[in-house]
Amino acid sequence: MMEPPASTAGGRRLAIVFAVLFVLLSAFAFVWGGIVTAGVRERAVIADRQLRSTAWRMLCAASASGAWPKDLASTATVACDTLPGGDGRWPGSPAEACPGGLEPWSDAWMVVLSLDPKGVGAPRLSAGGKATGIGTLETVNGWIDAYHQAVFAGNSVPATP
């Protein structure tokens, strides 16, 4: 039996080393991707709770004062147990807004408030570019828009507190 030339045996070893290295790097990338994805999902759940809690407090503040809050800090102490009925367009209780209970407000939250520059439109909430659950931003901003249309419609400029 004839031995393969040395260059073929060395090439075969090199191919095996590259194949093993490729498999190991692929496994590492898969595991690392899972870790990163789990972290993003965890932060998205936190952002959702913060958005829902903030939206509820904003609705309470608007109901109490007749105007939208100008900053998130002003909603920190706002509390109410119910809101006037919106026929399902906005939540009627904190439990509907944020199942499991409202989050205590913190200035370190991911929530960002954007006000209408003309002062006539509803404010918008976002998570400052962070991940949220599917549909959460649309849901909370839908509550705010619906409340704005129902309560502030026809006002040229909502009253300021």
Is residue 157 situated within a structural domain? no
Residue matched to tokens 């006000």: 115
Q: Number of structural domains, the chain?
A: 1
Q: Quick: pLDDT tens for 15-72.
A: 999 999 999 999 999 999 999 988 888 888 888 999 999 999 999 999 888 889 888 8
Is residue 29 situated within a structural domain? yes
pTM of the model: 0.76
Is residue 1 situated within a structural domain? no
Tokens of 75: 């909603």
Q: Which domain holds residue 60?
A: 6-152
Q: Yes or no: say if 55 and 148 are a contact pair by the CB < 8 Å rule.
A: no
Residues in the chain: 161
Is residue 22 situated within a structural domain? yes
Tokens of 51: 């958005």
CB atoms within 10 A of CB 93: 12
